[in-house]
Chain A
Amino acid sequence: MDEQALIDAARRGDVGSFNQLVLSYQSMAYNVAYRILGDRDAAADATQEAFLSAFQAIGKFRGGSFKAWVLRIVTNACYDQLRLKQRRPTASLDVLLVSEPAPIRPLTDPDESPEEHALRQELSKVIQVGIGTLPTEQRITLILSDIQGFSYQEIAAISGVSLGTVKSRLSRARGKLRDFLMEQGELLPSQYRLKIE
């Protein structure tokens, strides 16, 4: 069944059809949520909440990119999680950002050696900390562009901002993350350090 047929069935209240759409997009949604929130549990909560919201609001979906529509709901759910965290802080935000993130379970690459896998894990942690230092809007733009590979137009549609704003946010986010990674220097695995030509 193609995507549009599944969407139509979901509009009629068919949970099974909607769940097929969920299976298609849950990995992307969870990864985006994790990179925005930097916390696995919060990312899982935001993802689940986003799909529930999407099912209840699917009647309002007016066509276009369903993926972009779902991601918009996911980013909104992440904003809610961040607000919740601010209202009920279990620890200060700074502590969360500089503390070591929870172990990440990346999808395993069969060609990757255990050593490479460990290095990649280490790099992933440092980058996640760096992403966490960015303002939320810049963080989301960077994640959608450089991790998820969305175009400027798609990011503008997901974020509900202009193309110029996307470019500006992305430029600032990249510059800040670059500066952060250069400051880390020795913390990064040698082959991943930013090298000056």
Chain B
Amino acid sequence: MFGHLSQSEHQRIEKMLSVYLDGELPRKEKTRVEEHLAHCAVCAQNLHTLRQTVTLLRELPPLAVPRSFAIRPAQVAQRSGVLQVRQTHGYLRAATVLATILFAVVLAGDVFLTGLAPYLAPARAPEVVVREAPVEEAVVEKEVVVTVEVEKEVIVEKPVVETVVVEKEVVVEKEAAYEATPSPAPAEKKPEMRAPQPLATPAVQGKESASSAVTPATPETEALVEAYRAPDEERVEATPSPAGAGMEAKIAFTPTAVVEALPATPIPHEPTARVAVRLGKPELVLLRVVEAGLLLLVVALAIATLVARRRQSTR
């Protein structure tokens, strides 16, 4: 059909016909098109009908304007109002989205913290680390060492420690500990017993050496000890709560318990278990107030957005 011309060359010329018609082709390409048109009837025909089409378009008569489009100051003022409403609507919509996201984040945090409560047993320590005592320390039976950060009320009744009152309740999930941190064989465990720190009170140090270090002075301590009187291989560790600071104490639970004051630095390479923190009552109330406030804000912004949208569409 196209003789010796290749299909691609034919298509290339076809695409150039419109520009050729307008006389906008560079000289080299114009010559190429003209050479092609000289022996390609199809392209010559296409050029002809294309030219006819353009001629018809150029001969279309212009339409008379139905009215004057001169602007009036009142129109300008009205349009400014429309733009203002449109802008306000945009801001309100953005604010609604932001408030909704914030509310969702707070709500998710609330659910995350309080939703775990049924699985948790209350303990008055922001950080609890339970681990096995080093083999060297175990006399006859294996020991489970609990490290409690800033939980002086439980272990020590020193005035200096009592000033730090922690409202958090920390619960160690024993089952989670089994799953999360399989404990290595006791014989392979690194001896982790640390030397008593300067912050440790004499009372604490005294209890370290005592065979019954966890004194029945506080019922909470007994509860804690009972709670962590775990199987031999049990290993539970809790991470610190946001309010956790200061020092931590180690308690060894076996027939003999060892309490040791420690700095708050994490134990390197120590496998950890999950932590669950339950907020205290005042914090919980505060959280609920914030949630309610955010919810009200979202609703108010949504209503304002809808009103602005309606005003925008009526203008």
A30/B65 in contact, CB under 8 A: yes
Give the residue of A29, A145, A168, A174 whose beta carbon is less than 8 angstroms from that of B50: A174
A43 CA to B70 CA, complexed, in Å: 15
Tell whether A124 is near chain B: CB-to-CB under 8 Å: yes
Chain A residues lying within 8 Å of B50, measured Cβ to Cβ, are: 174-175, 178
Distance, CA A175 to CA B53, complexed state (A): 9
**Complex contact B76–A123 (CB within 8 A):** no
Determine if A146 and B58 form an interchain contact, defined as CB atoms under 8 angstroms apart. Answer: yes
A70 to B18 CA separation, bound complex (whole angstroms): 27
A146 / chain B contacts, CB cutoff of 8 Å: 54, 57-58
CB within 8 A of A152: which of B24, B48, B62, B73? B24
- In the assembly, what is the distance between CA of A47 and CA of B69, in Å? 7
> Known: A30-B69, A31-B63. Contact between A171 and B79, CB under 8 A?
no
Determine chain B's interface SS by DSSP, over half rule. helix
Chain A CB count within 10 A is highest, among B50, B52, B58, B65, for B65
CB pair A147–B19 under 8 Å, yes or no, is no
CB distance from B161 to the nearest CB of A (A): 69
Indicate whether A120 sits within 8 Å of B61 (C-beta atoms), given known contacts A40-B66, A194-B49, A196-B45.
Answer: yes
User: Does the CB pair B60–A124 fall under 8 Å?
Assistant: yes
Contact B57 A56 (CB under 8 A): no
A15 to B58, CA, bound (A): 34
Q: How many angstroms from the CA of A126 to the CA of B71 in the assembled complex?
A: 33
Q: Within 8 Å CB of B44, what residues of A?
A: 197
A175 CA / B69 CA spacing, docked (Å): 35
Segment of A60-68, A90-98, A105-113 engaged in the interface with chain B:
A105-113
Cα(A53)–Cα(B54), bound, Å:
32
CA distance A34 to B69 in the complex (A): 14
A58 to B50, alpha carbons, bound, how many Å? 39
A170 contacts the other chain (CB 8 A): yes
Q: CB distance A22 to B60 under 8 Å?
A: no
| Residues from 1 to 33 in B contacting A, C-beta threshold 8 Å | 15, 17-19, 22, 24
B163 at interface (Cβ–Cβ under 8 A)? no
Known: A23-B70, A147-B58. A104 touches B80 (CB 8 A): no
A25 nearest in chain B by CB position: B69
Given contacts A22-B71, A56-B79, A105-B64, contact A127 B56 (CB under 8 A): yes
Q: With both chains docked as a complex, state the minimum distance between the C-beta of A104 and any C-beta of chain B, in angstroms.
A: 6
* Interchain CB contact under 8 A, A29 and B49: no
In the complex, the answer to whether B53 meets A178 with C-beta atoms within 8 Å is: yes
Q: Is B269 an interface residue (CB 8 A)?
A: no
Query: Is B67 part of the binding interface, using a Cβ–Cβ cutoff of 8 Å?
Result: yes
**Chain B nearest Cβ from A114, distance in angstroms:** 14
Closest to B69 in A: A26
For A48, the closest partner residue in chain B by CB is B69
- Contact status A106-B62, CB under 8 Å: yes
Contacts of B60 in A (CB 8 A): 123-124, 127, 147
Q: With a CB–CB cut-off of 8 A, which chain B residues contact A152?
A: 22, 24
A82 CB–B CB distance under 8 Å? no
Q: When the two chains form the complex, which single residue of A30, A51, A106, A142 contacts B61, counting CB atoms closer than 8 Å?
A: A106
13 cross-chain CB contacts under 8 A: A15-B76, A105-B63, A105-B66, A107-B62, A120-B61, A124-B60, A142-B57, A146-B54, A146-B57, A147-B58, A171-B17, A178-B50, A182-B49
Beyond A22-B70, A196-B49: 18 further Cβ-contacts under 8 Å? A15-B76, A23-B68, A30-B65, A31-B62, A40-B66, A44-B66, A47-B65, A48-B69, A48-B75, A52-B71, A56-B79, A105-B63, A105-B64, A106-B62, A124-B60, A146-B58, A171-B18, A196-B45
Interface of A with B (CB < 8 Å)?
15, 18-19, 22-23, 26-27, 29-31, 34, 40, 44, 47-48, 51-52, 55-56, 104-107, 109, 120, 123-124, 127, 142, 145-147, 149, 152, 167-168, 170-171, 174-175, 177-178, 181-182, 192, 194-197
Report which B residues bind A (CB closer than 8 A): 15, 17-19, 22, 24, 44-45, 48-50, 52-54, 56-58, 60-73, 75-76, 79-80, 83
For the complex of A and B, list the 5 residue pairs with the smallest distance between their C-beta atoms, beginning with the closest: A106-B61, A171-B18, A146-B57, A19-B70, A178-B53
